[in-house]
Amino acid sequence: MGTIWSGGHKSGEEIEMALSKVKEVVSSNPVVVFSKTYCGYCKRVKQLFKELNVSYKLLELDEESDGSEIQSALAEWTKQTTVPNVFIGGQHIGGSDAVMEKHRAGKLVPMLTEAGAIANNSAQLSSI
């Protein structure tokens, strides 16, 4: 699950601006993780991506001036109110549980590779 959204009332204009920013970030990066620095579930995903040598865009919402608006926009767009909120190849994947389940099922690395987020995947290297 992760940290639950705890934003106050935001104007529609603030949410729309944040949603535009979110969609731009997602469309211009192979992998995006919306996170918070203190979130344990976020740390699990970041650790897994580090172990897999994934190149990804990280937005720590608790360090962004418009982090609350971004989280509200993500909730509106994805119906997910918690972090981490992960996108691969422009597709919403979900949170930590969804990422870990895809990894256990052997589906995560192929998705990351197809998105161009794993440059030197050992599974792709041929033996010499």
Q: Does residue 110 have a cis peptide bond before it, meaning omega lies within 30 degrees of 0?
A: no
Beta carbons of 4 and 86 less than 8 angstroms apart:
no
Mean pLDDT score of the chain:
90
CATH of domain 12-115: 3.40.30.10
> What is the Cα–Cα distance from 42 to 107, expressed in whole angstroms?
19
Q: How many CB atoms lie within 10 A of CB 122?
A: 9
CA nearest to 44, candidates 97, 92, 116, 94: 97
Residue extents of the structural domains in the chain = 12-115
pLDDT of residue 2: 53
Beta carbons of 27 and 90 less than 8 angstroms apart:
yes
For the segment 55-86, what is each residue's pLDDT rounded down to a tens digit? Answer: 999 999 999 999 999 999 999 999 999 999 99
Ranges 11-15, 50-54, 79-83: which has the least confidence: 11-15
Q: What is the pTM of this model?
A: 0.85
